[in-house]
Amino acid sequence: MTNIFDYIKWRGDVMFSSSGLNEIDSLIFCELSYIPFDNIISSDFSENGLTIEEIYDLYFDGLDEKINMGAIIPTEKIIPLFEMLSHSERFKDIRLHSYVNEISPDEEKQFSALCFDIPSESLTYIAFRGTDDNLIGWKEDCNMALFTPIPAQNQGLKYLNKIAQSTQNKLIVGGHSKGGNIAVYASFLAEKEAKSKIIAIHNFDGPGFREDFLELTKSSPATIRKVTNFMPDSSLIGSIFDTVGRRIYVKSNAKGLYQHDAFTWYLERIHFITVPSLAKSSVQFHRSLKNWVADMSDVEKKEFVDAFFKLCMVNDSGTLTDIVSNKFKFIGALFKADEKSKKTVMKTFFGSVRGFLGIKKKPNKLTKNEEEILKKAHILALPAEVSTRQENEK
């Protein structure tokens, strides 16, 4: 069966003016967003940007070292994809612009986005990057269980509004993994002008949302109809929490967590090859995760996230690659960690086992001390100006 590379070989000479953007093109743009284009693509929203062909030449000009985007990003697939696109008649003249890449340990934020302009369709595609190799991004992901919005979601909303103000084009908003989650979040809370320009929202195996945000989306049925969630048939990441919109389950040649790699997804012509429903293992994972999360108070979740990443960042580890490259030092440092952190992580680990076995404990009310901890940590519901916004869409 065919994949993204086969699609480019087959469709590479078909211009967008002859055949418009489809779901496979959308995924390709999202995969390309993982490449670090710092100092190549301008962050100036008023500039026209560079073509994929021009960017490819600049990116590898004088580059001697081997490119490595980290332990979880399939560099060995994304770079050949980049090369194929730079030689493809369909893709090489697509202009990329408004590149943003921000990592803030203080804010616990990892955010990146860029735009693809398709003049023949008067269309701008906004691609939000998923979680990369940086541990800050992974901690931010875990914070999704604690509060909405996380910093990257807020930044995505600002980015979308700014792009909408700078162009008359129609907009498609998408992303893979956390990028897909940001695309959905930003589209629902976007300003009226931006919302009117969005024609589609594509979430490629991105996690869902807390109940407070899901409740808010009910007031925007028109936006819900624009959302499509593409998930592999045994999705794990895309099964984290509930989401909104249509779901399409894609056949993959991988198993379990490895299906998150969209290069393993099968396609035929301009569409993914689909299956009617998620695998039983994925459904069970979703239910078990909900049991586990529901079994913990927000205080317990925060204590676990802080303790777990405190352990992860021993030996000044800043990325997953650091941990993988120095795994023995990392394991040794775990044994030397303070008892409180180890106890918190182990308590939550056994709680997760209980959750995945479907054994629930009776939830306790928050004590005044716990409420104070949450206030100091800024674990709140949606901001008042957002949660009270009620837009009646037709």
pLDDT digits (tens, 9 = 90+) for 260-302: 999 999 999 999 999 999 998 888 888 887 777 777 788 888 8
CA 324: distance to chain centroid?
22
Q: Is 53 helix (H, G, I), strand (E, B) or coil?
A: helix
Task: Report in angstroms the alpha-carbon separations of 87 from 98, 267, 315.
Answer: 23, 22, 43
pLDDT (average), residues 26-34: 97
Report the C-alpha gap between 380 and 246 in whole angstroms: 29
How does pLDDT run across 56-75, given as a tens digit for each residue?
999 988 665 667 777 678 88
Question: Reduced to 3 DSSP states, what percent helix, strand and coil does the chain have, rounded to the nearest 5?
Answer: 50, 15, 35
Residue range 4-278, CATH number: 3.40.50
Q: What is the pTM of this model?
A: 0.85
CB 289 within 8 A of CB 239: yes
CA torsion sign for 234, 250, 260, 231 is: negative
Report the C-alpha gap between 304 and 348 in whole angstroms: 7
CB atoms within 10 A of CB 126: 29
Report the C-alpha gap between 156 and 154 in whole angstroms: 5
pLDDT at 374 over 60: no
CB 360 within 8 A of CB 294: yes
Report the C-alpha gap between 320 and 134 in whole angstroms: 7
Report the C-alpha gap between 337 and 349 in whole angstroms: 17
Confidence of residue 132 (pLDDT cuts 50, 70, 90): confident
Strands 227-232 vs 198-204: parallel, antiparallel or unpaired: parallel
Domain ranges of the chain: 4-278, 286-384
